[in-house]
């Protein structure tokens, strides 16, 4: 069974490599992950050097620095090893599912997929090498601190949901046309 699954995955990878959308996804994921890691490094260095908080948009958006050992909103603090494993499993599962069950996806899906993968990858890299995630964007309205990766994941999930709704709507229309 594992050999059959491995063969199926390899055939999908071969098919996937021929798809030009792969290059777009790889470039987007690379650029977005790099942007996340560079901004985290810059602001970590800035605040470690004694930099003070910066008000970007009044009291609504501020730059500060937090080392988050937990997940979203600081939940599950000090469970970095478990969160790292869960992040790795999510990334692998998300990519494998994309390989196995992909159909012709449009630009919205490519952007959504790339945002989610890049965000998850950026935070995974922090957890793996630093044992915490570097957060630096404080949104006072919601009373939490996040980073570019968190924003990418949130926006990506919304775009992914919109893409699914559009796909479901198109499927219903084609089903009605076939009746």
Is the Cα dihedral 29, 34, 35, 41 positive or negative?
A: positive
135 flagged as catalytic: yes
CA distance 125 to 120: 9
Exposed, middle or buried: residue 178 (CB in 10 Å: 0-12, 13-18, 19+)? Answer: exposed
Which one from 19, 59, 78, 150 is the annotated catalytic residue?
150
Beta-strand pair 61-68/144-146: unpaired
19 flagged as catalytic: no
CA distance 62 to 138: 5
Which one from 135, 163, 171, 175 is the annotated catalytic residue?
135
Q: Which residues are catalytic?
A: 135, 150
């Amino acid at each position: 069974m594992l050999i059959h699954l491995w063969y199926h995955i390899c055939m999908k990878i071969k098919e996937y490599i021929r798809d030009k959308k792969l290059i777009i996804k790889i470039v987007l994921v690379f650029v977005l992950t790099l942007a996340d890691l560079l901004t985290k490094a810059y602001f970590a260095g800035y605040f470690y050097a004694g930099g003070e908080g910066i008000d970007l948009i009044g009291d609504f958006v501020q730059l500060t620095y937090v080392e988050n050992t937990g997940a979203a909103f600081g939940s599950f603090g000090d469970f970095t090893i478990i969160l790292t494993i869960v992040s790795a499993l999510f990334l692998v599962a998300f990519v494998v599912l994309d390989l196995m069950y992909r159909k012709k996806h449009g630009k919205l899906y490519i952007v959504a997929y790339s945002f989610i993968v890049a965000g998850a990858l950026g935070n995974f890299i922090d957890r793996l090498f630093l044992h915490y995630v570097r957060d630096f964007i404080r949104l006072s309205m919601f009373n939490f601190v996040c980073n570019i990766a968190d924003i990418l994941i949130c926006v990506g999930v919304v775009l992914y949901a919109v893409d699914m709704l559009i796909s479901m709507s198109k499927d219903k229309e084609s089903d009605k046309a076939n009746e």
